[in-house]
């Protein structure tokens, strides 16, 4: 039978002035939605809204309809028949007045702590509580992924943007979660260019330190690198100082260093998925073309720019040729790549970890701090602090199912790279 709570009284003839909300729930089986819509068509009602969710085989289907010309009892009879045929519970209630308004919608993405570690009820409650405290309502929660990390998306309406950001920021800080807040809708899914830093972002290494290890001056170079990435030193001056210490290295040493480069876990999956979804992908590096050219070829990247080491007679001179790819230059290159691809800058994503990436992150439509220094995390639109680069896909609204479906269409795919 149809349960029929009526929080808003119907009109004098039993009609609901705002229409009716039909809610079906139960074990999913083929034909439920088709049968319901066929019956509603016979009743000549107008379907005003519809939402369907399936969780582990349990169906929830809600349909807002106009009042049926044949009357409410005819509607109840039809719904009783569907409930009996499909073993469902069906609730019928008047649509609340004014519920057709469409407030702004935000997408809140929450990433788990580590490899396949579920988010706890308390953590999910903290996110939901922050949404309520900001005056918002959770319209829908969808699990985006459970591999390599758990990821959920909350669709939020009616929240005060500043309060929402503050409450979610407090929850993220207290629980050490990654929480991304973006306007939902076309602008989010319209992102079409992703530009990544290389050292400690696309790869796990700092290439100049690999070279310094070959030259026997690793400790001195690492100290300068740390100060430069923290924003304590001018990047160009720091780069030239470190490169001078590499004077005399031969090309065999560069090749040995290049062979030691380790991609960040999930890097291949991240780039491969973006490319299949129609994105352009580029890299900008304060490192060197000897490394980035190979990465661009290996990952089939669309753009790659880095510094050029001067080589004379097969040995490094300790100098850099041309303009240095520094903080300002990275932002310029992001705009150059976007122009070349015919993509507005607000449809770009920048990913980085150090102070050298700050201008690029600020210029992009979405700036992502990936396992970044504190100064970058404070400036970026969102942070990702799990060690899997492909977790950024979930911030972009891509689900794990979409990643795997893309892989299934390519017989050469090897899935997530560890």
**pLDDT digits 0-9 by tens, 28-50:** 999 999 999 999 999 999 999 99
**Set 106, 197, 205, 381: catalytic member:** 197
The whole-angstrom separation of Cα 403 and Cα 274 is 9
pLDDT tens digits along 77-88: 999 999 999 999
Q: What fold is seen in the domain 193-408?
A: Rossmann fold (3.40.50)
pLDDT band at 98 (very low <50, low <70, confident <90, very high): low
Domain-by-domain residue ranges, the chain? 2-94, 105-184, 193-408
**Set 106, 199, 205, 357: catalytic member:** 199
Q: Specify the range with the lowest mean pLDDT, choosing from 183-192, 195-204, 278-287.
A: 183-192
Closest CA relative to residue 114, chosen from 51, 36, 176, 40:
176
The pLDDT > 70 percentage for the chain reads 90
Phi and psi at residue 2, to the nearest 5°: -90, 120
C-alpha separations of 213 from 207, 210, 255, 291 in Å:
10, 5, 13, 16
Which CATH code is given to the segment(s) 105-184? 3.30.70.260
Is 199 catalytic? The answer is yes
Is 219 catalytic? The answer is no
pLDDT tens digits along 112-142: 988 888 999 999 999 999 999 999 999 999 9
In CATH terms, the superfamily for domain 2-94 is ACT domain (3.30.70.260)
Give the pLDDT mean for 147-156: 95
Q: Is 193-408 the same fold as 2-94?
A: no
C-alpha separations of 402 from 236, 352, 398 in Å:
41, 25, 6
The whole-angstrom separation of Cα 349 and Cα 313 is 40
Burial (Cβ within 10 Å: 0-12, 13-18, ≥19) of residue 119: buried
pLDDT at res. 18: 72
CA angle 262, 222, 243 (to 5 degrees): 90
The whole-angstrom separation of Cα 236 and Cα 228 is 9
**How many other CB atoms sit within 10 Å of the CB of residue 46?**
11
């Amino acid at each position: 039978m149809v349960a029929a709570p009526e929080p808003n009284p119907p009109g004098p003839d039993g009609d609901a002035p705002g229409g009716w909300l039909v809610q079906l729930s139960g074990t999913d089986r083929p034909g439920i939605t088709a049968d319901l819509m066929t019956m509603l068509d016979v009743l000549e009602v107008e379907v005003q809204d519809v939402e369907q969710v399936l969780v582990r085989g349990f169906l929830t289907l809600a349909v807002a309809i106009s009042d049926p010309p044949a009357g409410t009892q005819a509607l109840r009879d039809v719904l009783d028949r569907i409930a009996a045929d499909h073993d469902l519970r069906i609730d019928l209630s008047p649509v609340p007045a004014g519920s057709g308004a469409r407030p702004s919608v935000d997408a809140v993405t929450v990433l788990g702590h580590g490899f396949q570690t579920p988010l706890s009820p308390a953590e999910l409650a903290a996110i939901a509580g922050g949404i309520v405290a900001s005056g918002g309502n959770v319209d829908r929660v969808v699990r985006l992924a459970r591999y390599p990390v758990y990821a959920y998306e909350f669709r939020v309406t009616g929240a005060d943007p500043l309060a929402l950001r503050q409450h979610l920021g407090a929850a993220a800080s207290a629980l050490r979660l990654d929480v991304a807040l973006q306007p939902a809708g076309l602008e989010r899914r319209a992102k079409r260019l992703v530009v990544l830093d290389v050292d400690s972002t696309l790869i796990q290494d700092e290439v100049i330190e690999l070279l310094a290890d070959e030259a026997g001056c690793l400790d001195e170079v690492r100290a300068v690198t740390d100060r430069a990435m923290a924003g304590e030193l001018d990047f160009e001056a720091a780069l030239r100082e470190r490169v001078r210490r590499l004077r005399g290295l031969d090309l065999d040493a560069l090749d040995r260093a290049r062979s030691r480069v380790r991609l960040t876990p999930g890097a291949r999956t991240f780039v491969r998925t973006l490319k299949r979804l129609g994105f352009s992908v580029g890299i900008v590096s304060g490192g060197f073309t000897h490394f980035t050219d190979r990465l661009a070829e290996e990952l089939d990247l669309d753009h790659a720019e880095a510094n050029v080491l001067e080589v004379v007679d097969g040995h490094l001179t300790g100098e850099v040729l041309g303009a240095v790819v520094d903080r300002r230059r990275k932002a310029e290159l992001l705009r150059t790549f976007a122009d070349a691809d015919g993509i507005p800058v607000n449809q770009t994503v920048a990913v980085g970890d150090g102070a050298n990436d700050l201008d690029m992150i600020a210029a992009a439509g979405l700036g992502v701090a990936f396992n970044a220094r504190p100064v970058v995390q404070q400036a970026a639109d969102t942070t990702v602090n799990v060690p899997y680069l492909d977790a950024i896909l979930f911030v972009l609204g891509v689900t794990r199912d979409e990643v795997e479906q893309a892989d299934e269409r390519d017989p050469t795919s090897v899935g997530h790279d560890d």
